[in-house]
Amino acid sequence: MQQVKNPAASIALRVATAMHQMGIDGLPRNYELVYEAYSGSNPELVREFIALGKAKTQEALDELGRKYLPHHHEDGLLSRQNGQVRAEMSNFISLLNEEKISLTDYGRVIGHASKTILTEADLEGTPLGQSIKMLKAATEKRAHQNSNVVRAVVDKTAALADLQREAEEAEAAKFVDPVTRLASRRAFNKAVAKIYANPEMPVLCGVAIGEIDDYARIQEQMGPAVAERFLMQVAKVLEAVSGGGDLACRFDAGRFGLLLYTSDQEEVSRVVELVRAKLKATNFVGSSTGARVGQLGMSFGICFSEQAPNAFDFTNFAEKALATSKAAGGDTVTIYGANDYVSKDWLLYKKKPVGGFGA
């Protein structure tokens, strides 16, 4: 297993050092926010993070986190649901109190009627007759109240069921990308963490992180609607090649991830090349002319679990390999540390595009 040769150069240490220098509390949500800002994968987040200035308050960091890392700020939804549950239960208790008062009144009427029966002999035209009428009216009122209580309980139960359903949907949404419906970055992180449940013997697997070449330019020149169609096509291809056992996900922007439960380098490379080939064979068209706009190039970085000592480095090494692919001009695949992992030089291979975005 390859160890980190220079821990001082790792992004984890740089992020921790930066947080200390800026006086940012070492909270998990702060760490992920600073990590995302330093990785540069989201340019908008980077710009807004820099715009906070040198003195970054926790309130400003949380406001930025709610926008870009909403899974760390779910307490708002839970607080709203808790408040609604409290309100619904308070209403229900009020109904029970009203029921108690009604029962008291009902008992008082019956008691009065019983006393009259014991003291009056002539029923017609006597107070007993009036009491019987009152008893009859009270019985009808009680029946009506019972009906209202039943309806109210049914309504309150339905309202609580809706709250439970909303909570379940919110929990599931955390692990699904809203655009492509693939697994989200959070689902990917959770799956990778399981790989290293036993750090001394990680599950043998490979991770491939890919990015659409020139995605930012595609989005700017063709518009968000066309860019989204590109994302959907990549998602469709990744879902098809990953099958039922592997995990395909979208990180952000034009970046995707594949967690393949095999450490066979040839098999992982084959899957990645299959993805690239299918994308190149897809006829992408513009939004208005309908003309073909070229092949879709995609760069990848690959790492295997044997190469990384923990989940963080597993992903980080794949990110570094992807950065190498992009630095080489794109439309390239790089395997991290291939000179240490197999008896070959640093493995980086590239296929020249025939027209298209990278031409």
Architecture of the structural domain at 75-173:
Up-down Bundle (1.20)
Ranges of CATH 1.20.58 domains, the chain: 75-173
| pTM, 2 dp | 0.56
**Closest to 95 (Cα-Cα) out of 139, 151, 140, 141:** 151
Ranges of CATH 3.30.70.270 domains, the chain: 185-350
pLDDT at 344: 33
pLDDT at 347: 43
The Cα–Cα gap between 185 and 36 comes to 12
pLDDT at 314: 92
Helix (H, G, I), strand (E, B) or coil at 335: strand
- Sequence-ordered alpha helix ranges (H) in the chain: 11-22, 28-39, 43-51, 58-68, 75-119, 127-173, 185-195, 215-222, 224-242, 265-280, 311-327, 338-341
Q: Are strands 332-335 and 348-350 parallel, antiparallel or unpaired?
A: antiparallel
pLDDT at 94: 66
The Cα–Cα gap between 129 and 120 comes to 10
pLDDT at 5: 44
Neighbours of 119 (CB within 10 A): 10
pLDDT at 351: 44
Q: Which amino acid is at 99?
A: E
Instruction: State both tokens at 93.
Output: 């208790």
Contact between 271 and 237 under an 8 Å Cβ cutoff? The reply is no
pLDDT at 143: 60
Contact between 35 and 29 under an 8 Å Cβ cutoff? The reply is no
The Cα–Cα gap between 66 and 74 comes to 9
The strands making up 332-335's β-sheet, listed across from edge to edge, are: 247-252, 255-260, 206-212, 298-304, 332-335, 348-350
Helix (H, G, I), strand (E, B) or coil at 308: coil
pLDDT at 155: 73
Residues in the chain where the model's pLDDT stays below 50:
1-9, 340-359
- The region, left, alpha or beta by phi > 0 then psi within -120 to 50, assigned to residue 230 is alpha
Q: Are strands 298-304 and 332-335 parallel, antiparallel or unpaired?
A: parallel
pLDDT at 205: 94
Contact between 53 and 64 under an 8 Å Cβ cutoff? The reply is no
The Cα–Cα gap between 269 and 231 comes to 22
Q: Are strands 255-260 and 247-252 parallel, antiparallel or unpaired?
A: antiparallel
The fold of the 185-350 domain, in CATH, is: Alpha-Beta Plaits (3.30.70)
